[in-house]
């Protein structure tokens, strides 16, 4: 039912031409802008994220929410992030689960209200086994629960890829990863999250077409998301937040 509601909202926003007109939230401007990060090496990325986390630590912004992950999180347009929160983006392009786990300490002192994690597709592209991916995901959950006991930690499902319609430069690697494998991996990820007392947000079915691949309108190349894709993600986060708020009141 939630998926139907989100896709209906996406259709309405599509008709209104929201993708080129959504205003940038004032809360999203508290922290430094991303800049041309595609030109940076990994250590340069880490150094910048460390400085940005320090800004959040010093300023103590209200309702701080952290995006932790790879390029999908990194390129989330600031103007499409849900309003009413201050956002700290801790994504790195090409990041894998082990790399994210080892750099979580960068934002240890930020005192976030919420931490959103999405990681794993680059592991699959690089040939990492499901067992290692799940072990690293467990380490990430365990670390965040201990380092941020007051924060709501939300692990998000790994998204599908575009299959045969993908145009990404690593297309052949994507085609070597059945989307059915990603679905099964997500099921195991959800089980770990439940066991660890971490929230799980299943975005996967919202992004798939009838063939089980990443919906063509939601991606630019079969891997990365289009503005339409980010609107679906944003809507899911908004509705999830509203549902959690209702649940707390009840």
Which pLDDT score, from 0 to 100, does residue 7 have? Answer: 52
pLDDT, mean over the chain: 87
Which pLDDT score, from 0 to 100, does residue 25 have? Answer: 35
Does residue 211 surpass a pLDDT of 90? yes
Rg of the chain on CA atoms, in Å: 17
The model carries a pTM of 0.86
Q: For residue range 221-250, what is the model confidence (pLDDT) as tens digits?
A: 999 999 999 999 999 999 987 876 555 554
In the structure encoding, which two tokens stand for residue 208, read together?
């798939």
What phi-psi label fits residue 110: left (phi over 0), alpha (psi between -120 and 50 degrees) or beta? alpha
Average pLDDT over residues 61-84: 96
Side by side, the strands of the sheet bearing 114-118 are: 86-91, 64-69, 114-118, 152-156, 199-201
Does residue 9 surpass a pLDDT of 70? no
Average pLDDT over residues 203-211: 95
Q: Whose CA is closest to 186, among 230, 124, 250? A: 124
Q: Where are the beta strands (DSSP E) in the chain?
A: 64-69, 86-91, 114-118, 152-156, 199-201
- Cα–Cα distance between 223 and 100 in angstroms, integer? 19
Does residue 138 surpass a pLDDT of 90? yes
Q: For residue range 147-198, what is the model confidence (pLDDT) as tens digits?
A: 999 999 999 999 999 999 999 999 999 999 999 999 999 999 999 999 999 9
Does residue 200 surpass a pLDDT of 60? yes
Q: Which domains does the chain have, with CATH numbers?
A: 37-249 (3.40.50.1110)
| Backbone φ, ψ for residue 64 (5° rounding) | -65, 130
| CB-based contacts of 201, cutoff 8 Å, min separation 6 | 116, 154, 155, 156, 157, 236, 237, 240
- Cα–Cα distance between 155 and 133 in angstroms, integer? 13
């Amino acid at each position: 039912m939630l998926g139907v509601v989100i896709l209906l909202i996406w259709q309405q926003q599509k008709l209104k031409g929201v993708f080129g007109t959504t205003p940038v939230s004032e809360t999203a401007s508290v922290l430094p802008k991303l800049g041309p990060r595609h030109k940076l090496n990994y250590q340069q990325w880490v150094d910048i994220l460390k400085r940005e986390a320090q800004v959040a630590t010093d300023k103590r912004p209200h309702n701080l929410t952290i995006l932790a992950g790879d390029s999908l999180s990194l390129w989330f347009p600031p103007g499409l992030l849900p309003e009413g929160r201050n956002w700290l983006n801790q994504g790195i392009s090409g990041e894998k689960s082990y790399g994210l786990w080892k750099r979580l300490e960068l934002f240890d002192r930020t005192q976030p209200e919420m931490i959103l994690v999405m990681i794993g597709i680059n592991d699959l592209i690089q040939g990492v086994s499901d067992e290692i991916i799940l072990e690293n995901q467990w380490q990430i959950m365990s670390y965040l629960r201990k380092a941020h006991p007051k924060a709501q930690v939300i692990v998000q499902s790994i998204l599908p890829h575009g299959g045969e319609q993908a145009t990404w430069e690593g297309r052949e690697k994507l085609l070597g990863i059945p989307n059915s494998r990603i679905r099964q991996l997500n099921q195991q990820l959800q089980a770990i999250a439940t066991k660890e007392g971490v929230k799980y947000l299943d975005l996967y079915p919202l992004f798939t077409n009838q063939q089980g691949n990443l919906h063509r309108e939601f991606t630019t190349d079969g891997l990365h998301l289009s503005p339409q894709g980010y609107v679906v993600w944003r809507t899911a986060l908004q509705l999830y937040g509203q549902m959690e708020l209702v649940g707390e009141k009840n």
